[in-house]
Structure 1
């Protein structure tokens, strides 16, 4: 119980900002999960779920009576979404791994799927913005909705093995950093900067892996018998 109480109550200062340690710890779990995802490790999913659970309590600041009483409904809601989609991703990768196929095989989503992802991102943001506004999310509310939809699509894309899911994370980070800074979530904003660099790296790593997989396999030359 003492460890749980410390986790929920412990803070530190960055200038005049009070930061929860569980915000830092939750984001570190997310970073480790992203590292595991880049390496296509099954353990990336349960590690990420732990971080999601911690961050859910952080982004409902007014509900959990934290030093930063700001509710980011999109940020909090996406943690629940992360957990749900991560259970699917965990099962899918583990199922492939158990079948001897490897956790996941990176592949390009294709032109049609890319268009559908872009439409879903923009359309979902437009639909969720008035909903989040009515629920009292932090302004600009469209940013919160964009982050929620982008996170949903990126997590699903990771489960499917689409290389493009890394670029969706980049789009999320670009909007997420200024929103989190304005809302006072400094630790998460700083981590988003690291995520941005990391997700670009992940994209090139997966793209290279896919390119190497597409190369034709040249069989070894037949042995030449010497009379």
Structure 2
């Protein structure tokens, strides 16, 4: 079964597509859907997809030399796993605290979701923008020295955006969805030119999905704010 998962492909036109690339992205999509619904299970599901995609983007390590290694893409899968563990723990704690609000142990009106969306502060927004720019500039020469696919700045941009978006999701910042949009705008043409067609097409879908997620979290935030009783 493991050997089949690594080697199985299907054909679209003249291109051979790895099933594990499709399956890995399917897990990523399921994780994004869970994140939009603020479900704790989004994190472990995403980790499974990250492990699969790591084997795709480091193809030469796993016996596939037909496509270029995408070091930024591979590195971000490792980053995803690390940050997802943090997000998983943070959302589980939020859910536990929600459940403890009710003495009878029943699920509160919030549904015991893993996070309560809120806007980032202006210093936090400045951090996101600054880290995106500085991180991209710093990682570009490193990725180039390691032999990543050109244009290397785009690979670095995707890596930094993915890191910041995942961290923002863990913190519950509504703006994290917009960071994903910035990642998708660069990721689609880069991955298509490198031959990762399944992932590139998935990024197109992600772009629309993240805009929906942004407005969903925005509405949730407004609803939860309106439900807060006035002081006194």
Counterpart selection for 1:116 from 127, 132, 135? 127
Which blocks of at least 5 consecutive residues in structure 1 are unaligned? 220-227
Whether the 8 Å CA contact 1:61–1:67 is kept in 2: the answer is yes
Alignment of 1:1-227 (within 5 A): 3-66=1-64, 68-100=66-98, 102=112, 103-215=114-226
Equivalent residues, number: 217
C-alpha spacing 1:218/1:153, structure 2 compared with 1 (3 Å): closer
* Cα distance in 1 for residues equivalent to 2:135 and 2:73: 15
* Cα distance in 2 for residues equivalent to 1:163 and 1:218: 22
The 10-residue stretch of structure 1 (190-199 or 66-75) with the greater mean CA deviation from structure 2:
66-75
Which blocks of at least 5 consecutive residues in structure 2 are unaligned? 100-111
Q: Deviation string for 1:127-166 (max 9, x for gaps)? A: 0000000000000000000000000000000000000000
* Cα distance in 2 for residues equivalent to 1:109 and 1:52: 27
Q: TM-score scaled to structure 1, two decimals? A: 0.93
SS at 1:12 equivalent: strand
Instruction: Select the structure of larger CA radius of gyration.
Output: 1
* Cα distance in 2 for residues equivalent to 1:176 and 1:94: 31
Query: Structure 1 segments of 4 or more deviating over 6 A?
Result: none
Whether the 8 Å CA contact 1:68–1:184 is kept in 2: the answer is no
TM-aligned CA deviation for residue 215 of structure 1: 1.7
Whether the 8 Å CA contact 2:67–2:195 is kept in 1: the answer is no
* Cα distance in 2 for residues equivalent to 1:96 and 1:209: 16
Q: TM-score scaled to structure 2, two decimals? A: 0.91
TM-aligned CA deviation for residue 218 of structure 1: 6.9
TM-aligned CA deviation for residue 217 of structure 1: 5.1
